[in-house]
Amino acid sequence: MGAAITDLTTFIRQRRADVTKDAAPEAALVEFGAARMHFETTDGRRLSGCREWRGSVRMSALGHRGAPDVEAAVVQFLILRAGYENPAKVLPQFGDRAAAFVELFDDQWLDPALDESEDFAAGMPLSTVLIVLGATVDSGLPPESRLRAWAVAETVHTMLPTTAGLVLMPALPSATAPRHKLVSTDQIDPDWVRIGCASVPGHARFYGRATAFVYLEEARDALAGVRDEPIRISLPD
């Protein structure tokens, strides 16, 4: 049987109920650490070239022996293998957010204008595409936390090949598509820049990066310290 898991908000609420009003001040502060990724497929479809995955960030409550681990962030994504099923037929099966990426493909492959672009694909054939459908953190996390960016960077590093991979995501934080071809930089999800991604040429509503470039690994290295940064949360009154 696996270790018990709960979401961070539930853990904090239950912990608050256990703390008495006359408890020591330090009892009203919970510290979480040892962030690590856990991946599992959530897809029951029988497709050769596309599968849905869920990556979650699990953390431990430091100093609370026997307490369940908490799930602090989640990355939902697809792994698409080029040369199998046609993305125009496959992606809509995973919802409207996935279907939006169809415009980046031509038949079973990435659009040649992108696949053959030195600036975007580094002249390397792309065999595996990771499509980020969503990346969320628990509402109980401090707003300055970099855990979301770290989780996506770790997902890309773990799930894509070193030189023949590509990560794609919607440029905007929300699922709402922009009304115009140009997207204001003020609207771009800031975490996509933090993990080393840039605008997809000719497709302003998408961000991405090929793994053949060093940008993704350099960004991951810059975020590496997040794993060892404890997250301190004060219990609500």
Q: What distance in Å separates the CA atoms of residue 173 and residue 76, rounded to the nearest whole number?
A: 14
How would you class 158 by CB atoms within 10 Å of its CB: exposed for 0-12, middle for 13-18, buried for 19 or more?
exposed
Q: What distance in Å separates the CA atoms of residue 87 and residue 114, rounded to the nearest whole number?
A: 15
Q: What pLDDT is recorded for position 22?
A: 45
Q: What are 6's strand-pairing partners?
A: 70
In a domain? residue 237: no
In a domain? residue 194: yes
Report the Cα 20 to chain-centroid distance in Å. 37
DSSP, res 8: H
Beta strands 165-170 and 128-137, pairing class = parallel
How would you class 68 by CB atoms within 10 Å of its CB: exposed for 0-12, middle for 13-18, buried for 19 or more?
middle
Q: What pLDDT is recorded for position 38?
A: 97
The H-or-E segment that residue 154 falls in is: helix 147-159
In a domain? residue 89: yes
Q: What pLDDT is recorded for position 182?
A: 46
In a domain? residue 94: yes
| Total structural domains within the chain | 1
Is residue 131 a contact partner of residue 98, using CB atoms and an 8 Å limit?
yes
Q: What pLDDT is recorded for position 45?
A: 73
Q: What distance in Å separates the CA atoms of residue 210 and residue 119, rounded to the nearest whole number?
A: 10
Side chain identity, residue 140: G
Domain that holds residue 101: 6-227
Report the SS3 class of residue 174: coil
Half-sphere exposure of 43 (CA within 13 A, CB side): 23
Q: What pLDDT is recorded for position 196?
A: 97
Instruction: Point out the residues of the chain with pLDDT beneath 50.
Output: 1, 22, 24, 175-176, 178-180, 182-184
